């Protein structure tokens, strides 16, 4: 790509750039989300509801890994693109190298911590003892081996996309997912390894994806990366973490909410006609299906990130605004489609993950229709939060990333569950969605006004 990054990201039509970057990004994020869905499908069919409940107990750890990957991945990619937009290739190389190093360091720390504190972590995530905790222990002890590779695949994919190769990011995820599917069928169906088989299939797929990322990083296109660039630089790492903090907090709050929700589902589920295992298993399926939808939105947002970052750094504000508005329009279309599917076909979706009794299906359908009622506006907050991150306004991105999950949903979850039990947990979802949408709309409007002022100032300076 000696046709420089400036002549490409700064001059190509926005719609063309969105196709180039957003489609592979969406596919990559979708495939990443399908890692857990694939395991859930095989486990649901061959292990049953207890296995589904166990994977839901383990899910917060996956979210934590994604949070760390996005902290240094999106942060590194944004800093890289902002530096490239300003014409500082030397600085950009140090951002890329430090990003990769921090991803690996954090990945190994999470792996070791999980192995040492496995049972306290599972209890915190809502394990209730018995067969569910036993299944979760087997699954997490193995999948934790893959934490460094999962983080590098997700975080490194952002750097590869920033380097102008979104197709490689997509390829990494697809190859890992295909291997995961094949090995799931072999290990679970043929060999009958159950939870351990699902875990090993996941880890092997992640390792192979990470190897592809490493191979690409050795031949980065826009800048030359050498050993010195991979030595963690404190100033670069600090700036990367600051910029990536919005995406990180968004995932961390999701993880905290998952843990709290599992605890509430266990508590109120025990006192209901459904039972704790049914409520946790059904909720886990709903949340993972929601993550599939959300992967479209996150992929779309990440696809717009290089366009917004570069053009903001190059002071081409009309293109920054155009990329944001196009991303919002596409996100709105996806959200409308998801709303229709979740409201019309909840029973059919649940049945894909194994057959359950009438009580299980009743609660699962109810969870889908109430909890995801306002999913039609769920595209807005992540798109705008990523936008703020892309243009270097990390503090606004961090605030927005906290609105839905932490500022609104967490208090509503505790208050509504106290007042309405299981039904309160369900209604807290749409209430938080609508509240976060309102705040995001106001902040986006204010920022667009600010960009218009910068645009007028720039045009006056030129004239």
List, for residues 363-416, the tens digit of each pLDDT value.
Answer: 999 999 999 999 999 999 999 998 998 888 878 888 887 888 889 999 999 999
- Residue 449 tokens read as 């006004």
Return d(Cα 282, Cα 277) in angstroms, integer.
8
In this prediction, residue 193 has a pLDDT band, given cuts at 50, 70 and 90, of very high
66-87 pLDDT, tens digit per residue, is 999 999 998 999 899 888 888 8
Cβ atoms of 141 and 118 closer than 8 Å: yes
Q: Which of 44-53, 199-208, 281-290 has the lowest mean pLDDT?
A: 44-53
Q: Per-residue confidence at 302, pLDDT binned at 50, 70, 90?
A: confident
Query: Does residue 279 carry a pLDDT above 50?
Result: yes
- Model's pTM, two decimal places? 0.74
Write down the mean pLDDT value for the chain: 88
In this structure, of 27-31, 185-189, 231-235, 373-377, the range with the lowest mean pLDDT score is 27-31
pLDDT at residue 5 is higher than 50: no
Could you tell me which residues come within 8 angstroms of residue 235 by beta carbon, excluding any fewer than 6 positions away?
none
Tokens representing 286 are 């709903």
Q: What is the DSSP string of 324-377?
A: HHHHHHHHHHHHHHHHHHHHH-HHHHHHTT----HHHHHHHHHHHHHHTTTGGG
Mean pLDDT check: name the lowest of 140-149, 165-174, 374-383.
165-174
> How far is CA 106 from its chain centroid?
17
Query: Is residue 462 over pLDDT 70?
Result: no
Q: Which whole-number Å values give the CA distances from 175 to 31, 142, 160, 180, 211, in the listed order? A: 9, 20, 16, 9, 11
Cβ pair 132, 57 in contact under 8 A: yes
Contact predicate 375/293, CB 8 Å: yes
pLDDT of 4 higher than 60: no
Which position has the token pair 């090995």? 183
User: What's the pLDDT score for residue 36?
Assistant: 66
The set of residues, in sequence order, having a beta carbon less than 8 Å from that of 450 and lying 6+ positions away, is none
């Amino acid at each position: 790509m000696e046709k420089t990054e400036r002549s490409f990201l700064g001059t190509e039509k926005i719609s063309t750039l969105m196709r180039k970057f957003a489609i592979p990004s969406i596919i990559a994020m979708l495939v990443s989300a399908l890692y857990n869905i694939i395991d859930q499908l095989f486990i649901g069919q061959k292990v049953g509801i207890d296995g589904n409940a166990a994977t839901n107990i383990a899910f917060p750890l996956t979210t934590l890994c994604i949070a760390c990957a996005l902290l240094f991945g999106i942060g590194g990619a944004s800093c890289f693109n902002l530096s490239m937009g300003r014409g500082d290739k030397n600085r950009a190389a140090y951002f890329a190298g430090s990003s990769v190093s921090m991803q690996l360091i954090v990945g190994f720390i999470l792996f070791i911590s999980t192995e040492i504190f496995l049972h306290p972590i599972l209890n915190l995530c809502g394990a209730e003892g018995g067969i569910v905790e036993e299944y979760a222990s087997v699954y997490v002890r193995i999948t934790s081996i893959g934490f460094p590779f999962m983080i590098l695949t997700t975080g490194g994919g952002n750097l590869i996309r920033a380097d102008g190769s979104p197709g490689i990011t997509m390829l990494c995820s697809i190859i890992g997912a295909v291997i995961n599917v094949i090995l799931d069928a072999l290990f679970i169906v043929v060999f009958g390894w159950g939870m351990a088989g699902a875990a090993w299939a996941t880890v092997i797929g992640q390792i192979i994806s990470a190897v592809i990322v490493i191979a690409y990083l050795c031949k980065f296109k826009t800048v030359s990366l050498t050993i010195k660039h991979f030595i963690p630089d404190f100033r670069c790492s600090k700036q990367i973490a600051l910029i990536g903090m919005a995406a990180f907090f968004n995932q961390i709050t999701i993880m905290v909410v998952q843990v709290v929700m599992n605890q509430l589902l266990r508590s109120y589920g025990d006192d209901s006609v459904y039972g704790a295992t049914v409520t946790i298993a059904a909720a886990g399926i709903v949340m993972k299906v929601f993550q599939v939808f959300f992967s479209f939105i996150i992929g779309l947002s990440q696809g717009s990130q290089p366009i917004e970052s570069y053009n903001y750094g190059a002071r081409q504000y009309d293109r920054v605004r155009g990329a944001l508005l196009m991303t919002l329009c596409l996100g709105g279309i996806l959200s409308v489609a998801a709303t229709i599917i979740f409201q019309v076909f909840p029973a059919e979706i649940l049945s894909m993950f194994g057959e359950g009794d009438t009580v299980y299906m009743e609660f699962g359908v109810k969870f889908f229709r109430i909890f995801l009622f306002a999913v039609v506006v769920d595209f807005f907050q992540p798109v705008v939060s990523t936008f703020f991150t892309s243009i270097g306004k990390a503090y606004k991105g961090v605030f927005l990333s906290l609105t839905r999950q932490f500022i609104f949903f967490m208090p509503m979850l505790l208050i509504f569950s106290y007042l309405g039990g299981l039904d309160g947990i369900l209604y807290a979802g749409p209430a938080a969605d609508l509240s976060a949408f309102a705040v995001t709309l106001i902040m986006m409007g204010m920022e667009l006004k600010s960009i218009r002022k910068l645009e007028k100032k720039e045009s006056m300076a030129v004239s």
